[in-house]
Structure 1
Amino acid sequence: MKPALRLMLLAAAVLAALVLGVRVGAVPLTTREVVDGVRGVGDPTTVSIVQKLRLPRAVLAALVGGSLAASGAVFQALLRNPLAEPFILGVSGGAAVGAATAIVLTGALASSGIVSLAALAGAIGAIVFVMRVGVSVGRTLDTRVLLLAGVVAGAFFNACIMLILTFARTETFRAAIFWMMGSFAGATWRSIGALALAAVPALVVLLALARPLNLLAIGEETAAYLGVRTERVKLIAYGVASLLTAASVAASGVIGFVGLVIPHVARMLWGADHRFLLPASVLMGATFVVLADAVARTAAAPTELPIGVVTAFVGVPFFIWLLRRRGA
């Protein structure tokens, strides 16, 4: 099957997941009601449910899932490490410190704009710190130093989070923990627009780096021999992928597993060419997170499960099955 046709099928899967994500919930809807609600016709209550609650939530889930999957694919190529994922450089820890600080000091809701801005500031601070350490050791950006700096920064941020939560009241403690487990409950068209404003240009830049990433995944010396400006590519790819992760975390909280496993699934099914791997990861990540969010809203209704719990419980068995099948 040609790559273009595969991408079209993956795009159709995203669309089907979005329709399903809008259909399911406390008030089940038919596909016809979903289409009418998107168009703004029909029962006013249904239109309000579709346009103000479920559609923004599904679209935000798709954006976050695609962004995390693309970032994971980039980090795995640059670090040449199969365990690399979007939060490996301490981005999630920095964002969690910012969000927890805002929640504890201001008592703001986990879905409020103040918390999102604080999380974004914390994530960017973590990126700057790790990158500064990575470039200060030598004349080149050493991936091993960068990885170690990310691990150390993550441990430090975890200690900061525990310290902050120690002084939190019961309500703020619960809100901070809920944010760190990830949720799309506060999705709005404004938050979608803010994330899209960061995600779309970032994804375009990463797709433009597909060929250099193919060569870097083999080795830096080989890439340099074939004309790739390795240091420039590494800095751009690290910076853009990290900022993409930071924007995603600020919009939804910390959602693990997606950026680690989705690129592996795409690579197992269709190969390691980043010209196809990156867009395939974006589409597969979007589909997976939208479906996971639908499960989170309905599996234990009226209680809503944390999205990070669902992505792990659903994705880990599937990934193990895929590994066993590939080995067989």
Structure 2
Amino acid sequence: MKLKVTKSNYSLIIFLLILLTLFSIILFSTIGTADINIVEAFKIGLSKVPFIKSFISLEGIKNAHRVIILNLRIPRVLLGILVGAALSSVGAAFQGMFKNPMADPYVIGISSGAALGATIIIVTGLNLSLFGIKSISVGAFLGAMITAFMVYIIARVNNKIPVTTLLLSGIAIGQFFTAIMSFIMVIFSNDLTKIIYWTLGSFSAKSWDELIPVSIPIILSIIVINFFARDLNIMLTGEESAKSLGVNVEKTKILILIICSFTTAMAVSVSGIIGFVGLIIPHIVRLIVGPDHRILLPSSALVGGIFMIFADTIARTIISPTEIPVGIITALFGGPFFIYLLKKKKKSI
């Protein structure tokens, strides 16, 4: 069912999604091995909010529950929200830029570059810690950004970036880096488990130390992506039509490529490679609210964040106390949906 989005209900949709996001943060913070009810979690969370904490009493709440909520679950949930929002925003922007509903944040090979960067750090033990960010995250970020730069350089044709060339360059670089990573994994087999676990994506043992350094860059990046909503709407009519309407298509594509690559690199650096979120969430949201990027982009970010913490909650509780990588859960949801997209596209050919 597609909603008829107008200026009057645009704000209402975003407002309701924000409320749902806030409720989800509290709800999913209560789920886990320790039995903590939603009222306790709500009080514990509000006890750290300025101007409100003086009205909140934590009497009767176990100190262990406070530690679990504040130091373990809330930072993990917030990080999941950020990563899900980042990947979904980038997915929506790339799908608009490429005019292809099957595009995702990793379409230009960024995931392979990040995986190679993380793998090199894991097997060499290099200390690249920066601003409190762990070495593996720094290595993954650098690998992702180097990949994006290489793809951009290769894809340029007469100072233009044809979409087809960009996609093919991303596939080529991605496969090349994957081959290098596979070779390293064979040589350094002792680190195989750690490498594979990272590439499957996980928020296990994440804390404020991982959340704080990436939160502002990711939030700002998502905001910047939303500034391209109008241009993306116009570009859907075709590049020539967009040019006639005053859009500098090539400059816009370069800027979107840069900011989306940076956003994806930041997200992947702290979570590992979590697939399908940037593919299925924008597509589902588009089916509901339509293709207008002015509401598609912020809605995708919020829904993506909610979906990510939902998947992560399943990942850490389904066989508790053992955790499984969240990328496995998103793939279980995303795989069937991807098949649905393929079948739907096949019928339209």
TM over 0.5: yes
Q: CA deviation at 1:197?
A: 2.1
Q: CA deviation at 1:317?
A: 4.3
| 1:23–1:34 CA contact under 8 A, matched in 2 | yes
Q: CA deviation at 1:307?
A: 0.5
| 1:265–1:319 CA contact under 8 A, matched in 2 | no
Q: CA deviation at 1:113?
A: 0.5
Query: Which of 255, 265, 274 is equivalent to 2:284?
Result: 265
Deviations 1:186-228 (A, max 9, x none): 3222322222221122112111111001111221111100011
In the alignment, is residue 25 of structure 1 matched against residue 32 of structure 2?
A: yes
Q: Which residue of 1 aligns with 2:44?
A: 37
Q: Which residue of 2 aligns with 1:279?
A: 298
| 1:261–1:319 CA contact under 8 A, matched in 2 | yes
Q: Which residue of 2 aligns with 1:301?
A: 320
| 2:204–2:323 CA contact under 8 A, matched in 1 | no
Q: Which residue of 1 aligns with 2:171?
A: 151
Q: Which residue of 2 aligns with 1:122?
A: 143
In the alignment, is residue 99 of structure 1 matched against residue 122 of structure 2?
A: no
Give identity over the alignment, percent: 36
In the alignment, is residue 10 of structure 1 matched against residue 14 of structure 2?
A: no
Q: Which residue of 2 aligns with 1:113?
A: 134
Q: CA deviation at 1:18?
A: 1.3
Q: CA deviation at 1:319?
A: 7.0
**Which whole-Å CA distance do the structure 2 matches of 1:262 and 1:166 have between them?**
35
Letter of the 2:111 counterpart: S
| 1:94–1:119 CA contact under 8 A, matched in 2 | yes
| 1:71–1:244 CA contact under 8 A, matched in 2 | yes
> What are the equivalent positions in structure 2 for 1:122-201 lying under 5 Å apart?
122-135=143-156, 137-170=157-190, 172-201=191-220
| 1:123–1:246 CA contact under 8 A, matched in 2 | yes
In the alignment, is residue 252 of structure 1 matched against residue 259 of structure 2?
A: no
Letter of the 1:158 counterpart: T
**Which whole-Å CA distance do the structure 1 matches of 2:143 and 2:98 have between them?**
23
| 2:126–2:135 CA contact under 8 A, matched in 1 | no
**Which whole-Å CA distance do the structure 2 matches of 1:184 and 1:173 have between them?**
19
Matched residue of 1:218: which SS?
Answer: coil
Q: Superposition RMSD on alpha carbons, in Å? A: 2.0
Number of equivalences: 321
Q: CA deviation at 1:12?
A: 2.0
**Which whole-Å CA distance do the structure 2 matches of 1:216 and 1:83 have between them?**
17
5+ residue gaps in structure 1? none
| 1:25–1:297 CA contact under 8 A, matched in 2 | yes
**Which whole-Å CA distance do the structure 2 matches of 1:321 and 1:255 have between them?**
20
Letter of the 1:153 counterpart: I
Deviations 1:33-89 (A, max 9, x none): 112322263321111101110000000000000000000011111111221100011
5+ residue gaps in structure 2? 49-57, 128-132
| 2:115–2:199 CA contact under 8 A, matched in 1 | yes
Q: CA deviation at 1:323?
A: 9.7
Letter of the 1:121 counterpart: L
**Which whole-Å CA distance do the structure 2 matches of 1:294 and 1:18 have between them?**
11
Letter of the 1:117 counterpart: V
| 1:104–1:173 CA contact under 8 A, matched in 2 | no
Q: Which residue of 2 aligns with 1:310?
A: 329
Structure with bigger gyration radius: 2
| 1:133–1:149 CA contact under 8 A, matched in 2 | yes
Query: Which of 45, 54, 78 is equivalent to 2:73?
Result: 54
**Which whole-Å CA distance do the structure 1 matches of 2:199 and 2:83 have between them?**
15
**Which whole-Å CA distance do the structure 1 matches of 2:161 and 2:143 have between them?**
23
Matched residue of 1:303: which SS?
Answer: coil
